[in-house]
Chains A and B, each alone.
Chain A
């Protein structure tokens, strides 16, 4: 009756992944240890260079900022999505999805237009009688641009968990004598944490590997690791060093995933509302 080994249906997909994911990554790792000489030279070089250490640190700091700003924006927004009526919710969801409809590279161009010295934001600031700020080719500019791109990845997981929280639990807490804010912090927030964890980890990991937005919005003082990798390989043709940087980025990503994966699992499934 049933296909004998349904697992084999995944074989073509696995084959594609082996050819254009596993094999290329293996080559990157291999070259980082062998090009130009066998050994750890490329890694020693990477961690000894002050510039590289600064860039590595900056990459993590930017990722942390983007994650934090996204979370601050996303949590109230996702909560609002759960308490409004059907029509307002549709509008709020559209606002989250519409950015996806604009090509990624074009979106970065839009941020150039918005952030440049004579751009929209500075025009508004001038209009309000405030002094203009330097945004383009600065770290804050990069962070704003990246946050806009990544915000949906924070809002959607938080919303999907919040939607499942039984709000009667809040009423129950209120009936037991908890003040509204206390009930919210002690009952609602803990129940929403799985979504927060999921959003935080996704946004942080995607931030680490960001390339286009920092390359176009950033300047020399806001270079991130991806740009250094690209520079080593395409401009300096130094595959070993570029590979070593790539491996550092890759390892950081998977270590973070391994640490965070258990946090993302739904622990409070029993309190979820029946569908």
Chain B
């Protein structure tokens, strides 16, 4: 390609990258704003919004609620989704493909439609504003992500290793524990991470099934944004961004170390 086109392409990509990164670039400085305003650039510097996040019970309880729910979801969805991934990968013929198509539908159903349906069911079964209700709904939303991640590892997993382990004297459970599980672990962990984030960041269903007694962090953020211009949201966003970055970098390093073997 002529160099002129290359320069043009490069400039264009820079613009796209700026578009992609703009929210992150704005939120971080905003979290140190000296005033209670969302005007950019921020005015002055302070830690007060971080302090507010850690001391205001509205923020701390919603954060611990989200953490609790997301942790349970990560465990449940990973177990259920991993089992499903085995079913899909090892089912005979077209059954697997059909099953997979069914299990990833939560990704395409419009959030609000799902939310009013779940809200209706939860009103009848008194699950509105309960941890169980959140966990159930979020597990359903997280299953596709676990399924996709684990299935990807299962597809590159050499099943002949299971035959080999069996010939060396391992029963089915031992084969799974000593050979299959360690080799699909990266997929399993990234599935669990996706499940955690799906739940931790879920807002639409949460807005419907929340109650004054059980709010999750995204609901708290949403109400805060709609109520007033509170830079605490930016502080929360920055903290979550840092936490996610750390987890992902740790995951990558772990993956690289394993990649050697």
Residue ranges of A at the interface with B (Cβ–Cβ < 8 Å) = 1-3, 6-14, 16-17, 19-21, 23-28, 31, 73-74, 76-77, 79-80, 83, 92, 95-96, 98-99, 101-114, 116, 118-120, 123, 147-148, 151-152, 180, 205-206, 208-209, 211-212, 216, 226, 229-230, 233-234, 239, 242-243, 246-247, 249-250, 253-254, 257
A27, B81: Cα distance in complex, Å = 25
Contacts of B36-71 to chain A: CB distance below 8 A: 38-40
> Mask for B12-36, Cβ within 8 A of A = 1, else 0?
1100110111111011001000000
A27 contact set on B, CB distance < 8 A: 117, 120-121
Judged by a CB distance under 8 angstroms, whether B179 is at the interface is no
Q: In this assembly, does B74 line the interface, its C-beta being within 8 Å of a C-beta of chain A? A: no
Closest to B138 in A: A20
A243 vs B38: C-alpha distance in the bound complex, in angstroms? Answer: 37
**How many chain-B residues does the 8 Å CB contact rule pick out?**
79
Contact check, B102 vs A7: say whether CB atoms are below 8 A apart.
Answer: no
B177 at the interface (CB under 8 A from A): no
Q: Per a CB cutoff under 8 Å, which of A106, A148, A209 touches B27?
A: A106
Instruction: Please give, as numbers and ranges, the residues of chain B lying within 8 Å of A216 by CB-CB distance.
Output: 225-226
CB <8 Å contact, B12 and A77 = yes
Residues of B within 8 A of A (CB): 1-2, 9-10, 12-13, 16-17, 19-24, 26-27, 30, 38-40, 79-81, 83-84, 86-91, 95-96, 99, 102-103, 105-106, 108-121, 136-137, 139-140, 143, 147, 166, 172, 201, 203-204, 208, 217-218, 221-222, 225-226, 233-234, 236-237, 240-241, 244-245, 248
**Smallest Cβ-Cβ distance to B142: which chain A residue:** A16
Q: Which of B2, B38, B120, B240 contacts A106 (CB 8 A)?
A: B240
Contacts of A95 in B (CB 8 A): 16-17, 20-21
Do residues B110 and A208 form an inter-chain contact, with CB atoms below 8 A? yes
- State the CA gap A74–B201 with chains docked (Å): 25
Closest B residue to A248 using CB positions? B113
Contact of B234 among A92, A98, A106, A247 (CB under 8 A): A106
A17, A107, A123, A242 pick with most chain B CB within 10 angstroms: A17
> Is B23 in contact with A111, judged by CB distance below 8 angstroms?
yes
A-B contact pairs, 19 of them (CB 8 A): A1-B166, A13-B147, A21-B106, A24-B121, A25-B117, A76-B12, A76-B16, A77-B16, A98-B24, A101-B244, A102-B23, A106-B221, A108-B225, A110-B237, A114-B23, A148-B23, A211-B204, A212-B203, A212-B222
A16 and B140 contacting across the interface, CB-CB below 8 Å = yes
Are A9 and B84 touching (Cβ within 8 A)? yes
| B226, A16: Cβ atoms closer than 8 Å | no
Question: What's the least CB distance linking B31 to chain A, in Å?
Answer: 10
Please report the C-alpha to C-alpha distance between residue A120 and residue B99 in the assembled complex, in whole angstroms. 47
Residues of B within 8 A of A102 (CB): 23-24, 27, 237, 240-241
Nearest CB to that of B197 among chain A residues? A100
**Contact between A7 and B112, CB atoms less than 8 A apart:** no
B117 & A92 in contact (Cβ 8 Å cutoff): no
Top 9 A-B pairs ranked by shortest CB distance? A24-B117, A209-B110, A106-B237, A110-B23, A10-B87, A9-B87, A13-B84, A246-B113, A6-B90
- Decide: A8 and B87 in contact? CB cutoff 8 A: yes
Cα–Cα, bound, A45→B222 (Å):
31
Give, as a whole number of angstroms, the nearest-CB distance from B111 to chain A: 6
Rounded to whole Å, the gap between the CB of B52 and the closest CB of chain A is 15
A10-B87, A180-B1 given; name 20 further pairs at CB < 8 Å. A6-B86, A16-B143, A17-B106, A20-B136, A25-B109, A28-B116, A76-B13, A77-B13, A102-B240, A102-B241, A105-B218, A109-B234, A110-B237, A113-B27, A114-B40, A148-B23, A209-B113, A229-B113, A230-B116, A234-B208
Q: Which residues of B contact A234 (CB under 8 A)?
A: 208
User: Which residues from chain B contact A7 at a C-beta distance below 8 Å?
Assistant: 87, 91, 95-96, 99
Q: Closest CB-CB distance, B50 to chain A, in whole Å?
A: 14
Q: Report whether B22 and A104 are in contact in the complex, using a CB–CB cutoff of 8 Å.
A: no
A6 close to B91 (CB less than 8 A): yes
Give the residues in chain A near B83, CB-CB below 8 Å.
9-10, 12-13
